């Protein structure tokens, strides 16, 4: 695969577009969780531009790669990238969180291109594991990707699935942690310190790589590398910044539930270079 | 009954490679034949019911039928949110099988007594709730469970329950089976407690009290026509279940009758009172203490009809 500036620029541009959509959607819908959306914009951009084998014309194509967004509260960002990739009309985005809207606050499988509904944390990885088992049983070649958050890793069910996936050598499975280190009520290290996380995972027989979750090249290299080790599930810890791209949101607890007012929206879009 | 269930499932799975068993370290002495016959469709997730249910959902979402299996409350309450959000909301083929509902585990105590399961499971959209009463129903319900598309809860007996049906049955989800006809009262039961009802009805018959006996093997969707007909034709409805009195079969029957504007002259719910069971004793002893043994059922029916 030849690395050119063009696709890197495309991914970066898409990430910015995702962010601008999320800000507008949450502003219009007067909803929260925008900080959790902004932190995974590059992850989603790289997945949809470079990694996932999916077809907007055939959202249920049996050979598609599966992506489960376990941090369903950040679903606005997934809606944004799906709209950009033509899974549904772009006009739907501004119905997010609105009466009789097309897009509910947490990610919904009733939307074309969304594999699985989440919203309560700790649900995504067990289901992804089940899909990986099913794919292996039928010798299918697609991969299963699951995006999790810090909060997801608080949940015991996620750890149940971590142990089980390794036990059964599910190397068709990749977890991507959007590690923005901020959760609903505080910084992760103060709420429930996950560190040393890589050691926990490698000692649980996962193959782990850590990347800067806002660097497109690093992300693409890691996300395209599954399995990192044959016979082991793969884990990418993407170090990210909550609220990334908007100065007054970055690395703040407030931006978990927060959205923006008119003035803040204008400032945020200006900082993103979007007009 | 659990042996009958496992045998039936094994036979079905021989001809249907969509069937997976996902269980959480429970089933010793029962599940080994499936595990040996289909090692790549059998997964013991360890003592981890949330993951069991989530994994089953993921397997089912790929066009398969995933059966979760455990005893009493373990595959329902610990993982209720996985059942609700993952299996029921996505309306996939996850079948939840419990062994030993109600007071079946006797002296093991409150943790092992599934006494709210029917109420909770029947409140979930897309869920079907089934409780077979004897071996014939258990086998038929296993086939029906696999044929049904969508999530289903199967409350399986624990022991060698005697046959209630004396002749071949015509089993269909959502359609009750009348065990015997009668005009003085109708006893509508679900699950293996029907044995106690059948014995009680025999005694009542000796005194010329003719009870209709109905096996409501499917609590959801409930056979409304059967319930309404029983109320109109007998005037006295007794519901019987090995379950908390709140929200189970008795509640479901009452809902149907009031919704239909049908009020039987007499109505009685025989069930476990709305409190946790702290008594220590065998299954049979506990049933008697809570008025659910054949003699106690018989006495309750006599009292109701005399009032």
Q: How many domains does chain A have?
A: 1
pLDDT tens per residue across span A134-176: 999 999 999 999 999 999 999 999 999 999 999 999 999 999 9
Give chain B's mean pLDDT: 97
> B2-156 and B177-306: same fold?
yes
CATH architecture, range B177-306:
3-Layer(aba) Sandwich (3.40)
Q: Which CATH number fits domain B2-156: 1.10.10.10, 3.30.70.920, 3.40.50.970, 3.40.1650.10?
A: 3.40.50.970
* B176 in Cβ contact with B223 (< 8 Å): yes
* Interacting residues of B256 by C-beta distance below 8 A, sequence separation 6+: B222, B224, B227, B228
Closest CA to B113 of B172, B71, B70, B165: B71
Nearest CB among A131, A137, A157 relative to B51 is that of A157
Report the residue of B50, B55, B84 to disrupt the A interface, i.e. the one with the largest count of A CBs within 10 Å.
B55
Nearest CA in chain B to A164: B45
> Would you call B2 helix, strand, or coil by DSSP?
helix
* B240 in Cβ contact with B300 (< 8 Å): no
φ, ψ of residue B257 in degrees (nearest 5): -65, -45
pLDDT surpassing 70 at residue A3: no
Residue A53 sits in which domain range? 5-272
Q: Where are the domains of chain B?
A: 2-156, 177-306
Nearest CA in chain B to A128: B58
pLDDT tens per residue across span A180-208: 999 999 999 999 999 999 999 999 999 99
Return the pLDDT at B222. 98
The whole-angstrom separation of Cα A118 and Cα A105 is: 10
ipTM (interface predicted TM): 0.96
Give the predicted TM-score (pTM) of the model: 0.96
Nearest CB among B50, B63, B66 relative to A157 is that of B50
| CB proximity B83 to A under 8 Å | no
CA A219, A221, A226, A227: dihedral to nearest 10 degrees? -120
Give chain A's mean pLDDT: 96
Question: What's the whole-number mean pLDDT along residues B59-88?
Answer: 97
pLDDT tens per residue across span A57-74: 999 999 999 999 999 999
Q: Kindly determine whether residue A164 and residue B51, on different chains, have CB atoms separated by under 8 Å.
A: yes
Task: Provide the angle, in degrees to the nearest 10, between the axes of the packed helices B135-147 and B2-14.
Answer: 40
**And the tokens for B21?**
């068993």
């Amino acid at each position: 695969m030849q690395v050119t500036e063009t696709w890197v620029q495309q991914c970066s541009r898409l990430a910015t577009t995702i962010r601008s959509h999320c800000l507008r959607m949450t502003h219009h819908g007067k909803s929260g969780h925008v900080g959790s959306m902004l932190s995974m914009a590059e992850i989603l951009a790289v997945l949809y531009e470079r990694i996932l084998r999916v077809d907007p014309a055939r959202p249920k194509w049996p050979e598609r790669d599966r992506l489960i967004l376990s941090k369903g509260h950040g679903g606005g960002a997934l809606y944004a990238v799906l709209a950009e990739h033509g899974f549904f009309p772009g006009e739907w985005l501004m119905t997010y969180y609105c009466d009789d809207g097309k897009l509910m606050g947490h990610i919904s499988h009733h939307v074309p291109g969304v594999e699985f509904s989440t919203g309560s944390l700790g649900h995504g990885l067990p289901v992804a594991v089940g899909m990986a088992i099913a794919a292996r049983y039928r010798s299918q070649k697609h991969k299963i990707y699951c995006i999790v958050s810090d909060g997801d890793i608080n949940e015991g069910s996620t750890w149940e699935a971590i142990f089980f996936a390794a036990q059964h050598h599910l190397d068709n499975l990749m977890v991507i942690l959007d590690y923005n280190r901020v959760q609903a009520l505080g910084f992760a290290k103060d709420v429930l310190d996950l560190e040393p996380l890589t050691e926990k995972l490698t000692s649980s027989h996962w193959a782990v790589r850590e990347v800067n979750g806002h660097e497109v090249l690093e992300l693409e290299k890691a996300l395209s590398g599954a399995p990192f080790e044959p016979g082991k599930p793969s884990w990418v810890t993407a170090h990210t910044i909550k609220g990334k791209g908007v100065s007054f949101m970055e690395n703040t607890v407030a931006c978990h539930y927060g959205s923006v007012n008119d003035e803040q929206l204008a400032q945020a879009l200006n900082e993103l270079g979007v007009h | 009954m659990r042996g009958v269930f496992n045998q039936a499932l094994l036979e079905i799975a021989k001809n249907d490679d969509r069937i997976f068993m996902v269980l959480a370290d429970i089933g010793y002495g029962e599940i080994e034949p499936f595990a040996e016959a289909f090692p790549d469709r059998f997964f013991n997730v360890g003592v981890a019911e949330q993951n069991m249910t989530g994994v089953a959902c993921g397997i089912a979402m790929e066009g398969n039928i995933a059966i979760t299996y455990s005893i009493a409350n373990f595959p329902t309450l610990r993982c209720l949110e996985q059942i609700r959000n993952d299996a029921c909301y996505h309306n996939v083929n996850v079948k939840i099988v419990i062994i030993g509902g109600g007071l079946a585990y006797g002296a093991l105590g409150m943790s092992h007594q599934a006494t709210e399961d029917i109420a909770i499971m029947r409140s979930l959209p897309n869920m079907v709730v089934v409780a077979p009463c004897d071996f014939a129903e258990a086998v038929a319900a296993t086939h029906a469970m696999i044929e049904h598309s969508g999530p289903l809860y199967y409350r399986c007996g624990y022991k060698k329950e005697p046959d209630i049906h004396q002749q071949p049955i015509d089993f269909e989800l959502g359609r009750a089976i009348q065990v015997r006809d009668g005009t003085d009262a109708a006893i509508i039961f679900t699950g293996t407690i029907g044995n106690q009802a059948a014995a009680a009805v025999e005694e009542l018959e000796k005194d010329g009290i003719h009870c209709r006996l109905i096996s409501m093997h499917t609590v959801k969707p409930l056979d409304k026509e059967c319930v309404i007909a029983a109320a109109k034709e007998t005037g006295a409805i007794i519901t019987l279940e090995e379950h908390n009195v709140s929200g189970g079969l008795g509640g479901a029957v009452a809902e149907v009758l009031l919704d239909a504007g049908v009020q039987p002259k007499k109505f009685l719910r025989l069930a476990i009172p709305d409190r946790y069971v702290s008594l220590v004793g065998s299954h049979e002893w506990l049933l008697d203490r809570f008025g659910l043994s054949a003699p106690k059922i018989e006495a309750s029916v006599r009292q109701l009809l005399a009032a």
